[in-house]
Amino acid sequence: MATSIKEMTDGEQPYEDERTGLTKEAFKHAFLDNLFYVQGKFPALATHNDYYQALAYAVRDRLLQRWISTAAAYTKQGSRTVAYFSAEFLMGPHLGNNLINLGIYEQVREAIAELGLDFDTLLRQEDEPGLGNGGLGRLAACFIDSMATLEIPSLGYGIRYEFGIFHQEIVDGWQMERTDKWLRFGNPWEVLRPEWAVEVRLGGHTEQYRDEHERLRIRWVPDKVVVGVPYDTPILGYCNNTANTLRLWKAEAPESFDFSTFNRGDYGGAVRQKVWSETLSKVLYPNDEQIQGKTLRLEQQYFFVSCSLQDMMRIMRVQKLPLERFHEKFAVQLNDTHPAIAVAELMRLLVDEHVMPWDQAWSITCKTFAYTNHTLLPEALECWPLELFKRLLPRHLDIIYEINARFLDEVRIRFYGDESRLARLSLIDEHGERYVRMAHLACVGSHTINGVAELHSELLKHDVLKDFYDLWPQRFSNKTNGVTPRRWMALSNPRLSGLIHEAIGDSWVKNLDELSRLQPLAEDAAFRERWRAIKHANKVDFAAFVKERTGLAIDPQSLFDVQVKRIHEYKRQHLNILHVIALYHRLRSNPNVDIQPRTFIFGGKAAPAYHIAKLIIKLINSVGDVINRDSAIRGQLKVVFLPNFNVSNGQRVYPATELSEQISTAGKEASGTGNMKFSMNGALTIGTMDGANIEIRQEVGAENFFLFGLTAEEVAQTKARGYRPQDHLTAELKEVIDLIGSGFFSRGDTEMFRGLTDGLLWHDPYLVLADFESYSECQLRVSTAYRDVEHWSRMSILNTARSGKFSSDRTIQEYCRDIWHAPSVPVRLLSQEDVKVGFMQ
């Protein structure tokens, strides 16, 4: 019989420690205790958010026991620690994931139900921390999950953005950006650590002086100082005692209120420094078209890097380790170029603050850092105007000049007389306006450089970073990305996870290669039927969610064809929607044409200043408006744009998807991780030979992957010959583009989409027209395959069964083995008695 909240409060007593117990009864009491003493509410006045907060704090208590035990183990052993530097951590909601990793998800669901509350409603109360833009930030989140699961001592370092990536709304088909107020009700998962705050300097100038030992030194005299305050979030491993730390920095003013200025009547001036300081951690990725945006973005990057390195030196002091062993204590991974300024900052701290000789400091620096490159797009390899850099970071520019001079001396010796190579390798781009090349700084200051998929790593070596590869081939390696199966299967797809548990046990959650044991079951008709039933149930759930969010009814019997990711021309959402228009045109031209019913689902955000990407969103929505209202096509096609795509929405869409669109121009996508999430949840992929698609196809089998389009080599050859988009304008494609241009999808406005269609017809940098015919033919193969229900089910099962390689656990094991050399450290759970003994000692 269920126990209500009233019965629990009328005298039933706990029999297990409410702070650490994992039984159902212990959790009920902990939940009520937090409702009363943390939220200050009783049931008659409590809101859904109060109940969520009480539940979150009850879960956090269990995390804290593991967190303290982990910190004690690492401190005692002086463990080698991975410091993961990333400007983004797209964590997703914490509550469900922590319950999965504690191994108590179902019993907590039951406990909450027995108290008369709806568990799913409480889960939905959590505001998702929007601390990332897409794949880069989500990868960082998967990696720190895997490091905790593999018991690797680690710290994630980043920024606690007060307002994360914008909340996307669709108004008349256009993307509108709203403030993402994820902290409006507080964040129960973080712990403020003001005692570990550090100061960060900006601007000003440098000057020479002689210290008390008559040594010539450099002093940085800043014109601004900001304080970095750490907020810590425990990151729990799966079913172990490890809880690592995600440490995010908030910017504050050294003095938040100038009393003398206030007394003079300048009330705004009294808080001016507070306002400026807090701007640094106010919002994720400001619009950097204007110089103010560029300035803030560079300030943000330097801010979190400086805070983090100073914090690591504090840890060295606490553990009584000499600074000369910094590289032995820490392995720092630079997640793309955003934290690359860390190379110059560590040199500044060692040389200026700790009076270490340059050569020794440089040796430590190069042994500390490793660099992951995440892009093949030249515009994404950050370069900062020299004047901006000098104004914000004058001492660092001096250090970069010195690093560059010594580095180019090495290049001159190695490649005697090759002046063009010197110019290409220089940390300073001297062509036109001078720039600091951050990817070059990361390469020079790191002991290893890696790409994130086999093709991407090869293109880095032979194209983007070719000169560095020629100089240091031993530094380059590949580490194909992965995703955590805890969030992306166990949490987001409980029906499928339950079937897999029943079939092969639960060890696959921690060792995804175990999924290979599902392969023989692809030939079991009864298993295929259960597999299809689960997919259908997930589609029904997702259809209800779409109805709630968009008002659009979609048919779960149709093929769910999904492309959800950041909106960018190289990802080619416009190729997808051109094909949708082509199908619609066929149906309207011949109502009897046999077309497999499909629901096309799009989702993703465009950067606020990226006009063409926003125009693609508008086109998708405009096409959807026309198709979804056209009764003549009898619902055979539907188009959905799911607003505000994020981790939470990803957890809903991946389990329901049947066809995953991974259609980027070959040679442009570094890896992709959405492709992995879809595949391990049983979706089939239609894609190009790009990024990790290549390895997914190798693993699942070419016969279980729908391949189309030019290869990266063919793309390069096509462009080298002088690509003419209109040469690829088939009759159908011309009709599609003419239909857009006629105003058919824009209420007669013939100008609305002209920027998009003219760009395709006259420039088409991502070869949409060149790949359209191949894509269209491949989609016909998809339709044919989908009609063979049993065969499609086999392919779906094999996609899941052969996805073991794409666990982030495998990726982290490779980083540990080849780059970080960081051994695992098992953690013994401390009890309250252990703490008492520690006090007495």
Active site residues: 374, 565-566, 571, 673, 677
Strand 637-642 with 476-478, pairing: unpaired
Helices assigned H by DSSP within 393-493: 394-414, 419-425, 438-444, 454-459, 466-471, 485
- Residue 730: phi, psi to the nearest 5? -70, 170
**Rounded distance, CA 572 to CA 613, Å?**
10
**283 strand-pairing partners:** 163
Residue 647, C-beta contacts closer than 8 angstroms, at least 6 positions apart: 90, 91, 92, 93, 128, 138, 487
Helix axes of 24-37 and 48-77: crossing angle, nearest 10 degrees: 110
Q: What are phi and psi of 209, to 5 degrees?
A: -155, 165
Contact 323, 316 (CB under 8 A): yes
The closest alpha carbon to 826, from 151, 329, 153, belongs to: 151
DSSP 574-616: HHHHHHHHHHHHHHHH-TT-----EEEEEE----TT-HHHHHH
Cα–Cα nearest to 132, from 246, 280, 278, 284: 284
Tell me if 816 sits within 8 A of 447, measured CB to CB. no
Residues in contact with 629: Cβ distance below 8 Å, sequence separation at least 6, in sequence order: none
User: What stretches of 339-405 adopt beta strand conformation (E)?
Assistant: 369-372, 383-385
Strands 198-202 and 224-236: antiparallel
In whole angstroms, what is the distance from residue 690 CA to residue 666 CA?
5
Q: Please count the CA atoms within 13 angstroms of the CA of 120 that sit on its side-chain side.
A: 3
| Contact call for residues 639 and 563 (beta carbons, < 8 A) | no
* Alpha carbon distance 375, 371 (integer Å): 12
Residue 119, both tokens: 């568990």
Q: Per the structure block, which two tokens stand in for 236?
A: 């729990």
Paired tokens of 651: 């957890």
The position carrying tokens 């040679």 is 667
**3-class SS at 229?**
strand
Alpha carbon of residue 414 to chain centroid: 39
Distance (Å, whole) CA 377 – CA 109:
45
| Residues in CB range of 694: below 8 A, 6 or more apart | 453, 454, 455
Strands 174-178 and 191-192, bridge-based pairing = unpaired
**What is the spatial distance between Cα 774 and Cα 134, in angstroms, rounded to a whole number?**
28
Q: Please, which residues have CB within 8 angstroms of residue 534's CB and are 6 or more apart in sequence? A: 495, 496, 499
Sequence-distant (≥ 6) Cβ neighbours of residue 754 within 8 angstroms? 741
- The contacts of residue 158 (CB under 8 Å, 6+ apart) are 85, 86, 87, 88, 89, 131, 140, 246, 247, 248, 249, 304
Beta bridge partners of 762: none
Nearest to 185 by CA among 62, 315, 365, 57: 57
CA–CA distance, 146 with 511 (Å, rounded to integer): 11
Residue 818: C-alpha distances to residues 331, 478, 479, 671, 813 (Å): 12, 10, 10, 20, 9
Give the three-state DSSP class for 79: coil
